[in-house]
A and B are shown apart, each in its own frame.
Chain A
Amino acid sequence: MKIGLFVPCYVDALYPEVGVSTYRLLKSLGLDVEYPERQTCCGQPMGNAGFEHMAEPLAKKFDELFRGFDYVVAPSASCAAYVRCFHPNLMKGHACEAASKTMDIVEFLHDVIKVDHLSARFPYKVSVHNSCHGVRELGLSSPSERNVPRYNKIIDLLRLVDGIEVVEPERPDECCGFGGMFAVEEQAVSRRMGHDKLRCHVDTGAAYVTGPDSSCLMHLQGVAEKEGVNIKFVHVVQILAAGL
């Protein structure tokens, strides 16, 4: 099985350790992982801002780079969701092969590899941040709005980690207020949403907030540091790959 590793732009620039953990974890599972070096961004920031046409060339390039792989795996639910849900429309009239094979690392481990044991140890209490696009576009957990059987793929994986205590905050999948350029255009509401979300995580008594999207975590960390709130942030893949 040939895996194309997609490390989205902001993870590449700001959270390289998340990319490293993803690579190591996939390798530790005996997978053939390649990282196409000419990759950059999925185009979501421009699309959400209202300039989808500026994302079109990126969608095309993404497809050229990744269409040959069996799966494309990214440590970022929101970016994987943009590729899978929006690229086919952006590339209307062209063959779009990579999009349907693109997955977030959590769903890939949970649904494709069906991981049932890990060597990781993480002896801390962690509060799970169910990010919007992970929940409502990729289905990483059951949306709290729906009357469907409850599940959470992030928690399923975290439970394989030795020593960990996993909790969810009140309002487990309410938006944290990042939303790309929303965070600067609607900065007052965004900050308030971040403040409220952070409080829900802190109230669990967890030492760490973890989730499948570094973008939400970046936003929450920025708010926490500005407000002087003492809680740590770690991407879920860093926990799953702990010790590798």
Chain B
Amino acid sequence: MSTQHSKAAKAYQQKPEVVERHDRTFFGVRQKRDNMARALPEWENLRAMASQIKKHTVTHLADYLEQFEQQALKNGVQVHWAKDAEEYNTIVYDILSSHNVRKVVKSKSMLTEECHLNENLEQRGIEVIETDLGERILQMMKLAPSHIVMPALHVHREDIGNTFRQLIPDLDEIAKGYSAIGGSVTDPNDPTFLTFVARMHLRRQFMEADAGMTGANFGIAATGDVVVCTNEGNADMSTSIPKLHIVSMGIEKLIPDYRAMGVFQRLLARNGTGQETTVYTSHFRGPRPGGEMHIVLVDNGRSSILGNSEHWQTLKCMRCGACMNTCPVYRRSAGYSYTYFIPGPIGINLGMLRNPKEYSDNVSACSLCCSCDNVCPVQVDLSSQVYRWRQQLDSLGKADPMKKMMSRGMSFLFDRPAVYNAALWMSPAVNWLPGFLMNSSLNPWAYGHKMMKFPKKSFHQLWKEEKL
């Protein structure tokens, strides 16, 4: 009885101290989030309101998309529509190649991960530089994000230092500059020093780039604004130096207007990272003088999610990552144990919506504790959705045969009170099975537990014998 997730998670347990650090780090983020939530008396109302706004918007999506497009066009933005990842990649490539772009800097976007944009562009000869610090570290290490908001929080600073020393050719020169402004490099992996190195390294990338790409946290239908929230200002750098700006935006990112934005602005950073707000909340409305701004609106399966009565609520998600931070399974198995690129509760569900046969191995990664439902700022019914996916596994041909057999056995037993009573009467016999059998690998319970002892008499028997 195992899945890809459970096997990867078991392998991850081999270094208990790494598990401990991962768990504590992300539970720490959850606690910061709790403090933020408690500091706002209207918190629960905000969640309900955000959920209603998203529900309203996605159920009137066609209208809002048209309004958004009209506003954007009025603002001088070029709008493109992509029905899937392939179309999206082609659109972006065509824009870049028609401008002779050789290097593009981009801020964080899970949509570009979803569509494999970077690989696609690089295969066609365009260099792509991630500028979010975490994403840049992972890009240099050739690793995928392990979390959607804090993608490299699982990487240790020694490994970051080693990567920088290998891949940043002018590191010694940067170090001299660090000393010149009074920094001392006693520890080559000192976080302040490494941040300085990254900053100088990225500065050069910004200067050299021919185009800047951003994602979108929100699109405001009433004004055509694209809102991007970052802590590092890298989206602003990516769009302030190159003249060409391309926005990649999933169609579910729309909200009606500024009043709605006020609700989401208060929730996003508080819930995601435990900050009152992200350091930068940037509204991009039109091209810079002499420049161009393009928005690519991407469907890639979102319309069909909207038609799915059991799972449409995932479209409300604003990718804050709080469900991962609170998930006891995510915290102890980390991002790479999941087979979909988005891990944790929302990732289990989005993976199943992407391709249920391919990503069904993540459905086991949930104890149904329902904590995610209670942190979600837009009240997505995450754990109920996992429960419902489990009901689908058998018809997808992905049910675990052992679990099915056990469930059948229980169903047979519990549906027949007389047989059930006979089994109760027999159960103490289990105690007499030899220890090597009960505590061996034949008994999956014995992996983490000492076997329980059955009492001499069940409650049923005591009741019958009137020994209460």
Q: How far is the CA of A173 from the CA of B115 in the complex (A)?
A: 38
Q: Report which of A15, A48, A189 forms a contact with B6, defined as CB distance below 8 A.
A: A189
Residue B49 interfacial (CB < 8 Å): no
Residue B191 interfacial (CB < 8 Å): no
Residue B369 interfacial (CB < 8 Å): yes
Minimum distance in angstroms from B195 CB to a CB of chain A: 31
Minimum distance in angstroms from A127 CB to a CB of chain B: 18
Query: Are A40 and B406 touching (Cβ within 8 A)?
Result: no
Question: Which of B34, B329, B366, B368 is packed against the most chain A CB atoms within 10 Å?
Answer: B368
Q: Report which of B6, B9, B12, B367 forms a contact with A179, defined as CB distance below 8 A.
A: B367
Query: Are A58 and B390 touching (Cβ within 8 A)?
Result: no
- The residue on B at minimum CB distance from A22 is B459
Query: Are A147 and B374 touching (Cβ within 8 A)?
Result: no
Query: Are B415 and A188 touching (Cβ within 8 A)?
Result: no
Q: Which of B152-160, B238-246, B443-451 contacts A (4 or more CB under 8 A)?
A: B443-451
Q: How far is the CA of A196 from the CA of B448 in the complex (A)?
A: 13
Query: Are A9 and B332 touching (Cβ within 8 A)?
Result: no
Minimum distance in angstroms from B59 CB to a CB of chain A: 23
Question: Which of A7, A55, A145 is packed against the most chain B CB atoms within 10 Å?
Answer: A145
Query: Are B468 and A58 touching (Cβ within 8 A)?
Result: no
- Assess A188 versus B10: contact at CB under 8 Å? Given A179-B368, A193-B367: yes
Interface 1/0 per residue, B426-453 and A, CB below 8 Å: 0100000000000000001101111110
Instruction: Find residues 391-444 in chain B having any chain A CB closer than 8 Å to their own CB.
Output: 391-394, 399-400, 403-404, 406-408, 410-411, 413-415, 417, 420, 424, 427, 444
- Assess A13 versus B448: contact at CB under 8 Å? Given A50-B399, A133-B370: no
Q: How far is the CA of A38 from the CA of B374 in the complex (A)?
A: 37
Residue B13 interfacial (CB < 8 Å): yes
- Assess A9 versus B417: contact at CB under 8 Å? Given A182-B367, A182-B368, A222-B445: no
Query: Are B9 and A147 touching (Cβ within 8 A)?
Result: no
Residue B333 interfacial (CB < 8 Å): yes
- The residue on B at minimum CB distance from A10 is B452
Residue B184 interfacial (CB < 8 Å): no
- Assess A40 versus B448: contact at CB under 8 Å? Given A49-B407, A50-B394, A145-B374: no
Q: Report which of B375, B417, B463 forms a contact with A35, defined as CB distance below 8 A.
A: B463
- Assess A147 versus B367: contact at CB under 8 Å? Given A35-B463, A43-B414, A184-B444: no
Residue A162 interfacial (CB < 8 Å): no
Query: Are A20 and B468 touching (Cβ within 8 A)?
Result: yes
- The residue on B at minimum CB distance from A135 is B370
How many A-B residue contacts, CB cutoff 8 Å? 219
Minimum distance in angstroms from A85 CB to a CB of chain B: 9
Residue B83 interfacial (CB < 8 Å): no
Q: How far is the CA of A146 from the CA of B420 in the complex (A)?
A: 41
- Assess A181 versus B459: contact at CB under 8 Å? Given A132-B370, A186-B329, A223-B448: no
Residue A171 interfacial (CB < 8 Å): yes
Interface 1/0 per residue, A58-99 and B, CB below 8 Å: 100100000000000000000000000000000000000000
- Assess A57 versus B369: contact at CB under 8 Å? Given A12-B460, A226-B450: no
Query: Are B40 and A147 touching (Cβ within 8 A)?
Result: yes
Instruction: Find residues 1-38 in chain B having any chain A CB closer than 8 Å to their own CB.
Output: 1-3, 5-6, 9-10, 12-13, 16, 19, 23, 27, 34, 37-38
Query: Are B414 and A187 touching (Cβ within 8 A)?
Result: no
Q: Which residues of A contact B71 (CB under 8 A)?
A: none
Q: Which of A100-108, A136-144, A151-159, A202-210 contacts B (4 or more CB under 8 A)?
A: A136-144
Q: Which residues of B contact A137 (CB under 8 A)?
A: 370
- The residue on B at minimum CB distance from A196 is B23
Minimum distance in angstroms from B127 CB to a CB of chain A: 39
Q: Which residues of A contact B326 (CB under 8 A)?
A: 145
Query: Are B459 and A16 touching (Cβ within 8 A)?
Result: yes
Q: Which residues of B contact A183 (CB under 8 A)?
A: 445, 448
Q: Which residues of A contact B192 (CB under 8 A)?
A: none
Query: Are A185 and B364 touching (Cβ within 8 A)?
Result: yes
Q: Which residues of B contact A52 (CB under 8 A)?
A: 391
Residue A194 interfacial (CB < 8 Å): yes
Residue A14 interfacial (CB < 8 Å): yes
Minimum distance in angstroms from B154 CB to a CB of chain A: 16
Instruction: Find residues 353-396 in chain B having any chain A CB closer than 8 Å to their own CB.
Output: 363-371, 373-375, 387, 390-394
Minimum distance in angstroms from A71 CB to a CB of chain B: 19
With A136-B374, A186-B364, A186-B365 known, 19 other A-B pairs at CB within 8 A are: A12-B459, A41-B410, A47-B387, A47-B391, A49-B406, A51-B404, A58-B414, A145-B371, A145-B375, A147-B38, A171-B27, A175-B367, A182-B366, A185-B403, A188-B9, A189-B365, A196-B23, A222-B445, A226-B450
Q: Considering the complex of A and B, which 6 residue pairs feature the smallest CB-CB distances, nearest first?
A: A222-B449, A191-B448, A179-B367, A50-B390, A175-B369, A188-B10
Chain B positions near chain A (C-beta within 8 angstroms): 1-3, 5-6, 9-10, 12-13, 16, 19, 23, 27, 34, 37-38, 40-41, 43-44, 326, 328-329, 332-333, 363-371, 373-375, 387, 390-394, 399-400, 403-404, 406-408, 410-411, 413-415, 417, 420, 424, 427, 444-445, 447-452, 454-455, 457-464, 468
The 29 listed contacts between A and B (C-beta, < 8 Å) are A16-B459, A16-B461, A24-B468, A46-B410, A48-B390, A57-B415, A58-B411, A58-B415, A61-B415, A132-B370, A136-B369, A136-B373, A137-B370, A143-B374, A147-B38, A147-B43, A173-B371, A175-B328, A179-B366, A179-B367, A182-B366, A185-B6, A186-B364, A186-B365, A187-B10, A189-B332, A192-B332, A193-B367, A222-B445
Chain A positions near chain B (C-beta within 8 angstroms): 7, 9, 11-17, 19-20, 23-24, 35, 37-41, 43, 45-52, 54-55, 57-58, 61, 132-133, 136-137, 143-148, 171, 173-175, 177-194, 196, 218-219, 221-223, 225-226
